[in-house]
Each structure stands twice: as C-alpha cells, then as structure tokens.
Amino acid sequence: METSASVLSPADLTVLAGTLPARLPAGPLLLVDPPSSSGRLLGVGLGSGAHVQELHPLLQGLDLTALQSETPSISGVPGWAHVVLGTLEGPLIMEGRLDGQPVVALTFDPSLSGLEKSLAFPLLISNATSFLLSQLSGSDPRSEEGAVVEIVGTGVLGEVMGRPEGLSGVKGCAGL
C-alpha cells in the first residue's frame, strides 16, 4: 500500500537534536543541545541564567543533582525564553515561544556527562513532552490516544513511548 505525504499527519511535537534550522517545523519544539551559533539563541543581556524554578512542571520529580555537571552551550538568555534551570555559566533548561510556537530548550549535550544513561533523562524528556503538548491551543494532550513525535538531529534520541500524561519513558536512548 502506497502512502502519500498528504495522508500523513504533521507531528504533534518535533525534537531537534544538535540542529536549529532557519525554517522551523510547525508545532511544539523540543531543542536538545541546539547549536550555539544560531542567531535565535543569542542572549539579549538578560543575565547569566543562574536561576531555578523548582516548582516548574519541567522539573517535576527531577533530581537536580543529576544536572549539576552539565555545561550549557549558550551563555545568555534569548529574548523569547524564560530560564527554568540555569547556572552561572548560562541557562540549562529554557521554555518560551519562538516564532509563535512553544519551545523547550535543553542547552547541553546529555551524552557528554552520561545524563542520557541516568534515570533523570527519561523523566526530563517526559516532563518536556507533557509540558509542550499541554501548550497546544485548544487541545488537552491527556484526551488523545498518543502523540506523533518527529525526531530530527545528529543522533538518535530515542522513541517516546506511551500517552503524554503517562509516558513510560524513552526507549533506545543513544548519544546525541
């Protein structure tokens, strides 16, 4: 059976690992280790990003000590972003709207410190996925059977399993 592109639904969420194209895909975006050379990530003098929003949904249930050895790839805070977790070196986790689309940015490479092999990584990805899908206007992700996730990048992030409210984790996590 032949499948045409017009039959396929657009992804509910796109994961961009190690890349940030000039033309962004439609819908919510999860950026993992975006390139620091992107003009979209240039800080606008809003400080170093040394901040922790402990009650933010992205950090729910997360052991923050697992992230203490991460090094941010950017040093400033872009105008579109709000820092959820950051260090004196820069923001580690940001959220906001870029070109009108909800975005969560993890500004570090989880494979450098081994975070992708820890229990904190699937929880962080699950939190980010749930948060982004909840940002869809007029849509409650908990009412859907599942979400289509498109993964684009320099490596394999993994397969997100389960429904947004009860993601069972990330299967097949590999270095980015």
- Give per-residue pLDDT as tens, 36-58: 877 777 666 555 567 888 899 99
Q: What's the DSSP call for residue 56?
A: S
Contact 158, 175 (CB under 8 A): no
In 3D space, the residue among 145, 150, 173, 170 whose CA is nearest the CA of residue 160 turns out to be 170
- Give per-residue pLDDT as tens, 92-128: 999 999 888 999 999 999 999 888 898 999 999 999 9
The answer, yes or no, to whether residue 17 has pLDDT greater than 60, is: yes
Q: Residue count of the chain, please give it.
A: 176
Rounded mean pLDDT of the chain?
75
Q: Could you tell me the pTM of the whole model? A: 0.73
Q: What's the DSSP call for residue 26?
A: S
